[in-house]
């Protein structure tokens, strides 16, 4: 039994009530003649999130977000799917099953993101069909390949068709898509979009019947720009551990109400709306539904007092009341020990050479192409930290031992190297450094750590281990956040001025975001969608 001021999302009333619970379900809700300070709400549902971006396993993620009132998530596991395919997705499901948080999944629609990189797996229509038959898989994950939809790629359309056959929705991902192409995209039955960044874009999609997911994550924050559009969902997409420690959807709700969204409407966006869209059995207070409910102090601050999932008290006053023991996973790194010469570019001439350079822009996934004249020493092109032209490399980690090298501007390292096994979307190892020696040391450290983030400076090695597919840690959010902050301080001392150097580096390998990027197969011009030479 739970008592409090009940917010009825069906009638928009608030009245004192008691919720009777039996067998994990809501048995009955009765109005009572009592006075209460706190409010009973349905547990919050994050309708679009990538658990891997938190760098926490699903069980550790649950430990961090349940005390904030989150009782369910719809997670797209496309990061681990790029590494391990279906076995990676099943790892997420198995680890998730050890904790009370209710996990629903989508079948990743775009693995790999492009054919110009080496991933650990490929999910074709057959694999999508297998996944969509699972009860916990509630939709086809975000269709990032919007050019494939518009261009009527038969494999892409077959995946969408399979989702419709199972009567499961298809999530969208179509940044800035407009006009006839947008109509064609929606016409295939894609029903949501979380990539809107401006009001005009969101309104065009909404007018055409799309459900708008307003994203408020760690890097992409769109709530302030889009709140007046009347979105259907409030989602996180990507949320980092240091931010999760401060709050989750309760924090987003607080901001939404401060901006001017009616509290009842805001709460619908994280409860009733996702429940209805994904055909879930929770997210609303009604007899026969799952007893996933929370108690908050008011409808402005959303400080969470109690959290119940399946009728059991699982968190109180900001503390999880369940134990977490993340499941182990196989080693996903299959590469040889690297030598400094693996990171050399040899022009076969002396003097200088003009090279293409990836130009990083702070706070953006977009890059530009610039150029630099670099000195050739002992047959190899050298980085020039004074010009802020550093070496960048991508090391394939799935057994083929590819290494591609180039140059990058914007990291401002005076010395050393940084490396990461989080490199969207195929998650090969990416490394930026001032010398081949430091780059080799950083990559070999990652190999020995079975993944993670590394900074090498003056022969000192600092690292955050992410041994779960090179993407996640088995440590708590507190521990991961602490180590992440220490790494950022080290990289700052190395001269880097970027706010999030590892995150910025991770997107240098994402070949679907312009302009100049790099994969394990070479330097890639996104505009022309082809590889280009480093030396001009």
Tens of pLDDT, residues 352-392: 999 999 999 887 778 999 999 999 999 999 999 999 999 99
Taking residues 92-96, what's their average pLDDT? 98
Q: 133: Cβ–Cβ under 8 A, 6 or more apart, which residues? A: 166
Among residues 306, 326, 325, the alpha carbon closest in space to that of 315 is found at 306
Taking residues 261-265, what's their average pLDDT? 96
Q: Is 527 left (phi over 0), alpha (psi -120 to 50) or beta?
A: alpha
CA 20 to chain centre: 37
ω into 295 cis (within 30 of 0): no
Tell me the CA end-to-end span of the chain in Å, nearest whole number: 72
Which percentage of the chain shows pLDDT scores above 70?
100
- State yes or no: pLDDT of 442 exceeds 80: yes
Cα dihedral across residues 241, 246, 251, 252: positive or negative:
negative
Quick one: angle between helices 154-165 and 125-132, nearest 10?
20
Q: Which residue has the tokens 């892409």?
A: 156
Taking residues 22-43, what's their average pLDDT? 96
Quote the tokens at residue 56: 């926490």
Query: Containing H/E element for 420?
Result: strand 417-420
Q: What is the pLDDT of residue 427?
A: 97
Q: Which residue has the tokens 């499961």?
A: 168
Task: Give the DSSP letter of residue 336.
Answer: P
Tens of pLDDT, residues 326-347: 999 999 999 999 999 999 999 9
Q: In sequence order, what E strands does 297-388 have? A: 304-309, 312-316, 319-320, 351-360, 367-377, 380-381
Q: What is the pLDDT of residue 61?
A: 98
Q: DSSP string of 98-128?
A: TSSSEEEEEE-S-SSS-SSS--S----HHHH
Q: 500: Cβ–Cβ under 8 A, 6 or more apart, which residues? A: 219, 488
Q: What is the pLDDT of residue 411?
A: 97
Q: What is the pLDDT of residue 180?
A: 96
Q: What is the pLDDT of residue 70?
A: 98
Q: Could you tell me the pTM of the whole model?
A: 0.93
Give dist(CA 399, CA 396) in Å, integer: 7
Quote the tokens at residue 260: 């001017």
Taking residues 298-323, what's their average pLDDT? 97
- State yes or no: pLDDT of 313 exceeds 80: yes
Asked if residues 9 and 275 have their Cβ atoms less than 8 Å apart, the reply is no
| Average per-residue pLDDT for the chain | 95
The strands making up 2-8's β-sheet, listed across from edge to edge, are 25-31, 13-22, 2-8, 39-42, 293-296, 304-309, 312-316, 319-320
Q: What is the pLDDT of residue 514?
A: 84
ω into 320 cis (within 30 of 0): no
CA torsion 133-135-136-142 (nearest 10°) is 40
Asked if residues 315 and 306 have their Cβ atoms less than 8 Å apart, the reply is yes
């Amino acid at each position: 039994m739970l008592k409090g001021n009940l917010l009825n999302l069906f009638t928009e009333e608030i009245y004192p009530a008691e919720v009777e619970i039996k067998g994990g379900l809501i048995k009955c809700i009765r109005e009572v003649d009592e006075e209460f300070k706190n409010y009973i709400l349905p547990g919050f549902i994050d309708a679009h999130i990538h658990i891997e971006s938190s760098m926490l396993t699903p069980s550790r993620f649950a430990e961090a977000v349940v005390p904030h009132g989150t009782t369910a998530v719809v997670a797209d596991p496309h990061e681990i799917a790029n590494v391990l395919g279906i076995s990676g997705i099943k790892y997420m499901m198995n680890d998730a099953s050890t904790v009370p948080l209710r996990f629903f999944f989508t079948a990743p629609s775009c693995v790999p993101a492009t054919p110009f990189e080496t991933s650990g797996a490929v999910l074709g229509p057959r694999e999508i069909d297998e996944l969509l038959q699972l009860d916990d898989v509630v939709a086809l994950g975000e269709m990032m390949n919007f050019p494939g939809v518009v261009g009527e790629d038969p494999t892409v359309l077959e995946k969408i068709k399979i989702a419709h056959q199972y009567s499961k929705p298809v999530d969208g991902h179509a940044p800035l898509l407009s006009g006839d192409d947008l109509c064609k995209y929606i016409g295939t039955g894609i029903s949501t979009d979380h990539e809107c960044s401006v009001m005009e874009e969101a309104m065009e999609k909404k007018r055409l019947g799309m459900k708008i997911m307003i994203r408020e994550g760690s890097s992409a924050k769109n709530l302030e720009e889009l709140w007046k559009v009347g979105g259907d969902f409030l989602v996180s997409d990507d949320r980092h551990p240091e931010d999760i420690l401060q709050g989750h959807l309760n924090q987003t709700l607080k901001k939404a109400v401060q901006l001017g969204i009616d509290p009842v409407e805001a709460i619908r966006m994280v409860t009733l709306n996702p429940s209805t869209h994904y055909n879930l059995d929770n997210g609303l207070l009604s007899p026969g539904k799952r007893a996933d409910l929370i108690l908050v102090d008011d409808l402005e601050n959303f400080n969470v007092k109690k959290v119940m999932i399946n009728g059991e008290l699982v968190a109180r006053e900001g503390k999880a009341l369940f134990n977490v023991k993340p499941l182990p996973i196989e080693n996903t790194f299959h590469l040889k020990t690297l030598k400094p010469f693996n990171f050399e570019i040899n022009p076969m001439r002396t003097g200088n050479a003009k090279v293409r350079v990836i130009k990083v822009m702070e706070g953006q996934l977009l890059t530009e192409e610039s150029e630099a004249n670099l000195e050739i020493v002992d047959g190899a092109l050298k980085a020039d930290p004074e010009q802020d032209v550093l070496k960048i490399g991508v090391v394939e980690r799935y057994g083929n031992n590819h290494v591609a090298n180039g140059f990058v501007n914007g990291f401002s390292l005076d010395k050393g190297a940084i490396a990461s096994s989080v490199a969207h979307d195929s998650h090969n190892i990416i490394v930026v450094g001032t010398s081949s020696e430091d780059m080799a040391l950083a990559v070999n450290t990652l190999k020995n750590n079975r993944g993670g983030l590394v900074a090498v400076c003056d022969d000192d090695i600092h690292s955050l281990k992410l041994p779960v597919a090179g993407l996640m840690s088995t440590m708590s959010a507190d521990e991961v956040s602490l180590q992440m902050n220490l790494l950022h301080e080290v990289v700052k001392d190395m001269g880097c001025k970027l706010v999030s150097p590892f995150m910025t580096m991770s997107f240098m390998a994402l070949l679907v975001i312009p302009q100049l990027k790099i994969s394990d197969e070479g330097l890639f011009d996104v505009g022309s969608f082809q590889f280009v030479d480093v030396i001009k």
